[in-house]
A and B are shown apart, each in its own frame.
Chain A
Amino acid sequence: MAPSTAPRRLAAGVAAVSGAALVLSALTGCAPGSDADVVIRIAMGSSGDAVDSKFDDLKDQYEDLYPDREVEIIVQEDDVYQTTGLATLLSSREAPDAYFEWSGPRMRNHVADGDGADVSEYLAGEAFAGRFDDGAFTGMDVDGSGIYMVPWTGDVTDVVWYNKEIFDSLGLSVPTTWDEFMDVCAAIKASGVTPIVEGNKDQWTVGNWAAHIASRVLGEDLYAQTMNGEAAMNSPEMLDAMSYIAEIAEKGYINDSVNALPDDEANTQFFLGKAAMIVIGSWLMADAATDAEGLDFDYFNTPALEGAGDQTSVLGISTGFMVNAKSEHIAETMDFLALVASTEGTKLWADAGLAPMTVDPFAGVDADPRTVSLATLMSTASTVVAPSDSGYDIEVAAAFYDAVASIIGGGNVQDALDTAEKRVAEIR
């Protein structure tokens, strides 16, 4: 071989090798089996297997109805979805056609980013006719115009669930004021059982409850201002509100592991009778369907406190599916969401322990009376307060949750709120 040809040979060799690598990875690059003409992608955070599997049922239904279409359900770990997952999905080029979201500010942010389509026209169409009362669309508009969401479920974000057997054996009744609540806790603790179990690893469980308490003490307006970062985190009212949380920590009415325990493990502990109460949302019923093991339990709303807010308020938020404004298959996507909202769809959700937002949430379903009563609690509430993380500024919520986690872990209330205020001031 003449030396002069060597570089060319080498170049050819390089090209051949890198070419081979390209071919190899091109082969592996294509996603498996997408021979359908239209593929729609639906994204959500996991609500547990009981609910997730129902979406697979709907997917099959849909693909039977429309043989040339295919549905891809993207289920992510719940906390990942809410924090990084959905954002990443939406910014990727293969963005989902529809995605789960809470009504209110989070939904509006998506609209502002150009990721939310106005679906009011479709909702007025035949497929959705008579499926929703107008009230179901509260919080799904932007400045009073349009509807940017197909309502799915109404979540009561926190109530106090209690173990009836433990209450009965100790002769306890449902408390209506905070003092009674503290007495109940004291009696349970004296009997050697943990009064309340919470899984606050991701900070929103106790965080939501603290937000509810804050709204009762601060009044709904000041609460909203605080959570929007417009009012001080360390106001005297806030100090007052958080002293309720501090009281629980001080008296040892909550599991020691509160800040280490993941939320669903706390559910399991409640179901196994390791604690008498758990403060969590209506979705506990979905887990109960598979995990409660025959436990006799019920719920009550957070007892009345002293403050400027409505003392019977309910902390809750409606959820739904937003349609991506950039989607090329909005009509096909709406066909799928029509199934979600249909009578059969509604049945699936009610069966799984959710409270659908449709007009006939529990028709033809042997729904659990507690699920039904929670839905009623939400729809008849004189005041519905939105949780701080889903309803307001997420960074402010994060600062607030940090403070709450610190307080429930035994930290000083004033210090915790001062730290939170310092962070919020930075964002303002």
Chain B
Amino acid sequence: MSTERTRTERTRRRLAPRTAAVIYHVVMVTASLFFVVPLIWMVASSFKTKREIFESPFAPPTSFDLTVWTSAWERGDLGVYALNSVLTTVVSVAGILVFGLLAAYAFSRFRFRLSRWLLLPFVLGLLLPVQSYITAQSRWLDAFYLLDTRWALILPYIGLGLSLAVFLLKGYLDTLPRELFEAARIDGAGDFRMLVQLVLPLMRPGLATVATFSILSCWNEFLLAMLYIQDEDLRTIPIGLLAFTGKYSTDYPTLFAALSIITIPMIGIYVIFHRQVISGITEGSVH
């Protein structure tokens, strides 16, 4: 009786769904277009002349001359900015992962007197906007001759990233069974060996999450980069682009080309690693 019912249900649903599927995909494609069209428009506009952009914003480009891209790359020093962003991001993320893991390991596996007090600031750091202390921070870093060096970004980026890293990694470590560590200790493993041989492999998803979050936030950070770095040779991509928009603000094709040059590799990397990126980010929140 019940199998009978499900069968009719199923056939009924399989007939109507043709149209349902069409409607579904129409809705979804439209929604996707909303996210993708501005980007396509940006790339297309880089191949048009200024007048074409003004007179017919929707028309596709008439030619695909890549010289505007190469000239945007050269005139805009985009290579320098990209290199700076890579260096700053790599060092910052390495710092976040290493220091974050060590601290999280201590908070999770040791009972010590100041434990709660030392952890509390990191938790507050999760809520505290950087703007709430930036006035003093700029003066403070300056007092140590750090402004206008790579450290002016790397140190704050590590500090800002540590809150989340400590919090998340401690969460992961807390879920690892105690027995694991006890067994390892009986085998005579010291803390350092335990950390490297036991914890590190188990923590891979957690570290990947922290790394994804940190990479994205360091790569895209704007405010500190604007205020702390004035040297053109040290500028990262966001501020380099801001300077670029000032210099070529009316040279729309060049401007769109520069924006495309920065954007397309990131989308490429993302499309290749989207599974890792999305799971990295969502793990952090779902966990």
Q: Within 8 Å by CB, do A and B touch in the complex?
A: yes
Q: How far is the CA of A186 from the CA of B249 in the complex (A)?
A: 31
Q: Which of A77, A88, A91 contacts B247 (CB 8 A)?
A: A77
Chain A residues numbered 91-109 whose CB sits less than 8 Å from any CB in chain B: 91-94
How many contacting A-B pairs (Cβ < 8 A)? 122
CB-defined contacts of A29 to chain B, threshold 8 Å: 149-151
Q: Chain B contact residues: over half helix, strand or loop, or mixed?
A: helix
CB-defined contacts of B231 to chain A, threshold 8 Å: 31, 72, 74, 94
Given contacts A29-B151, A77-B245, contact A91 B192 (CB under 8 A): no
Q: How far is the CA of A28 from the CA of B85 in the complex (A)?
A: 11
Q: Which of B98, B151, B226, B246 contacts A17 (CB 8 A)?
A: B98
B145 at interface (Cβ–Cβ under 8 A)? Answer: yes
B249 and A9: CB pair below 8 A? no
B51 and A10: CB pair below 8 A? no
B190 and A9: CB pair below 8 A? yes
CB-defined contacts of B189 to chain A, threshold 8 Å: 1
Given contacts A6-B191, A49-B75, A94-B231, contact A18 B98 (CB under 8 A): yes
Least CB distance, A252 to chain B, in whole angstroms: 22
A414 at interface (Cβ–Cβ under 8 A)? Answer: no
A219 at interface (Cβ–Cβ under 8 A)? Answer: no
A331 at interface (Cβ–Cβ under 8 A)? Answer: no
Q: How far is the CA of A10 from the CA of B109 in the complex (A)?
A: 14
B91 at interface (Cβ–Cβ under 8 A)? Answer: yes
Closest to A13 in B: B192
User: Per-residue 0/1 for B220-239: is the Cβ within 8 Å of any A Cβ (1 yes, 0 no)?
Assistant: 00000011101111100000
Chain A residues numbered 54-97 whose CB sits less than 8 Å from any CB in chain B: 72-80, 84-85, 88-89, 91-94
Given contacts A21-B91, A25-B151, A92-B230, contact A10 B192 (CB under 8 A): yes
Q: Kindly name the residue among A14, A21, A73, A272 whose own CB sees the greatest number of chain B CB atoms within 10 A.
A: A21
User: Per-residue 0/1 for A260-300: is the Cβ within 8 Å of any B Cβ (1 yes, 0 no)?
Assistant: 00101101100010100000000000010001010000000
Q: How far is the CA of A84 from the CA of B229 in the complex (A)?
A: 12
Least CB distance, B231 to chain A, in whole angstroms: 7
A404 at interface (Cβ–Cβ under 8 A)? Answer: no
CB-defined contacts of B188 to chain A, threshold 8 Å: 1
Q: Which of B148, B190, B232, B242 contacts A80 (CB 8 A)?
A: B242
A3 and B190: CB pair below 8 A? yes
Closest to B243 in A: A77
B74 at interface (Cβ–Cβ under 8 A)? Answer: no
B230 and A76: CB pair below 8 A? yes
B87 at interface (Cβ–Cβ under 8 A)? Answer: yes
Interface residues of B, count at CB 8 A? 46
A89 and B230: CB pair below 8 A? yes
Chain A residues numbered 23-66 whose CB sits less than 8 Å from any CB in chain B: 24-25, 28-29, 31-32, 43, 45-46, 48-49, 52
CB-defined contacts of A21 to chain B, threshold 8 Å: 91, 94-95, 98
B165 at interface (Cβ–Cβ under 8 A)? Answer: no
CB-defined contacts of B25 to chain A, threshold 8 Å: none
Q: Kindly name the residue among B50, B138, B150, B246 whose own CB sees the greatest number of chain A CB atoms within 10 A.
A: B246
Least CB distance, B89 to chain A, in whole angstroms: 11
B102 and A28: CB pair below 8 A? no
CB-defined contacts of B193 to chain A, threshold 8 Å: 1, 9
Least CB distance, B38 to chain A, in whole angstroms: 17
Given contacts A28-B150, A29-B150, contact A74 B230 (CB under 8 A): yes
Q: Kindly name the residue among A5, A52, A268, A274 whose own CB sees the greatest number of chain B CB atoms within 10 A.
A: A268
Q: How far is the CA of A265 from the CA of B248 in the complex (A)?
A: 11
User: Per-residue 0/1 for B229-272: is the Cβ within 8 Å of any A Cβ (1 yes, 0 no)?
Assistant: 01111100000001101111111000000000000000000000
A265 and B230: CB pair below 8 A? no
Closest to B101 in A: A17
B142 and A92: CB pair below 8 A? yes
CB-defined contacts of A88 to chain B, threshold 8 Å: 138, 147, 227-228, 230
CB-defined contacts of A171 to chain B, threshold 8 Å: none
A48 and B242: CB pair below 8 A? no
A268 and B190: CB pair below 8 A? no
A7 at interface (Cβ–Cβ under 8 A)? Answer: yes
B160 at interface (Cβ–Cβ under 8 A)? Answer: no
Q: How far is the CA of A318 from the CA of B183 in the complex (A)?
A: 78
CB-defined contacts of A31 to chain B, threshold 8 Å: 231, 233-234
Given contacts A268-B50, A268-B250, A291-B250, contact A75 B190 (CB under 8 A): no
Q: How far is the CA of A404 from the CA of B244 in the complex (A)?
A: 29
B154 at interface (Cβ–Cβ under 8 A)? Answer: yes
B242 and A77: CB pair below 8 A? yes
Chain B residues numbered 100-138 whose CB sits less than 8 Å from any CB in chain A: 102, 138
B54 at interface (Cβ–Cβ under 8 A)? Answer: yes
Q: How far is the CA of A18 from the CA of B228 in the complex (A)?
A: 24
A264 and B250: CB pair below 8 A? yes
Q: How far is the CA of A93 from the CA of B228 in the complex (A)?
A: 11
Least CB distance, B226 to chain A, in whole angstroms: 7
Q: How far is the CA of A84 from the CA of B135 in the complex (A)?
A: 12
Q: Which 6 A-B pairs have the closest CB atoms?
A: A77-B246, A6-B190, A92-B147, A13-B192, A10-B192, A268-B250
18 residue pairs A–B, Cβ–Cβ below 8 Å: A1-B190, A6-B190, A9-B190, A18-B98, A21-B91, A21-B95, A24-B91, A25-B91, A25-B150, A28-B91, A31-B233, A45-B246, A46-B247, A76-B243, A77-B245, A77-B246, A88-B228, A93-B147
